[in-house]
Amino acid sequence: MELHKKGTNAYFGFFFTSIIVYLFYSIYQFRKDAEKFSDDIWRIRKVFYVLFLTLTGIGVVAGYVDFRDWKILLQLTAFVVFIDLAVFQTPSITKIWSAEFQHRAKIEKTIEVNVDFINSTAIKLQAFSDVIKQTADYFEPKTDIPQNWNAYQRELKQFLSLYTSQFRFRLEMFHFRIGSDETETKQHIGRALSQLETLFLYELDDAPDKDNQPGFRTQVVDKLTSGIGTSLETDKLIVIPIFQNRSLLIGIRTSEGSRVDEVDITNIVNLSRIFHWYMT
């Protein structure tokens, strides 16, 4: 108990120290080149929130933050949001209180959104951790390595369902071949993506935008070819490329009351790698 208490104190010390260090780094960047700082402020704020979510996630996984403890989550979120509004969105210290009152509704909404995201992330990290704990026992009785696509797909889908079934996600797989060059690989991925569209009854728009940039479908194929999972429909449908001995696209659609995001992409990729290590 005493050891855990010391660990908790050390964690929160690390949490606030990291936030303060990043804050001082941002101030240094502002003093160094105010114009460039203003141009990059959206990126600086994004990194700031990613840092916050990462630190919070570490606390949840390590057991120092209970995702059911709304009080501490609200306090941490309010602390970070206030810094964002007071420093990054309000350069002058004399405007802090003005910014607080002007953005009160925005603060409340941001806190609500961030708390929901933190809770969702914590639950998914816990689900992923639970699957990891089962992994050795799960694979111990499996002595036969899948020799064909159907067997490989069936075994992988069954293993991933340890995670997806906890959120009632629908998971489908679509095989594709690696071509002799990138162009050919993109064609194979495009055909697999078409199968996904048909099965999930979802059509991707590929019309160029007003600046004649590639359409959304083309952008998705480019990302998948680069090994990047992406969202096809926000919070509802994601597609993940897996490049192993048997390359495939994994499509995941949500059910009512759930959502998919980048956390699920990361978890599915990691679980697929674990499956590949055990079964090849």
3-state secondary structure at position 239: strand
Q: Give me the half-sphere count of Cα atoms (radius 13 Å) on the Cβ side of residue 236.
A: 7
Band (95; pLDDT cuts 50, 70, 90)? very low
Band (161; pLDDT cuts 50, 70, 90)? very high
Task: Express each pLDDT in 10-28 by its tens digit.
Answer: 888 888 888 889 888 888 8
Least confident of 40-44, 48-52, 172-176: 40-44
Task: Express each pLDDT in 126-149 by its tens digit.
Answer: 999 999 999 989 998 888 888 888
C-alpha–C-alpha distance, residues 128 and 235, integer Å = 19
Supply the pLDDT for residue 191: 96
pTM exceeds 0.75: no
Write the CA distances from 178 to 8, 134, 185, 193, 240, integer angstroms. Answer: 48, 32, 5, 14, 15
Helices (H), 140-215: 149-164, 182-200
Supply the pLDDT for residue 105: 57
At 240, which amino acid appears? I
Q: Provide the residue ranges of all domains of the chain, joining segments of one domain with +.
A: 2-125, 142-279
C-alpha–C-alpha distance, residues 279 and 183, integer Å = 30
Mean pLDDT of 51-75: 80
Supply the pLDDT for residue 6: 65
- Fold that domain 142-279 belongs to in CATH: Alpha-Beta Plaits (3.30.70)
Band (9; pLDDT cuts 50, 70, 90)? confident
Residues 6+ apart with CB under 8 A from 44: 26, 29, 37, 88
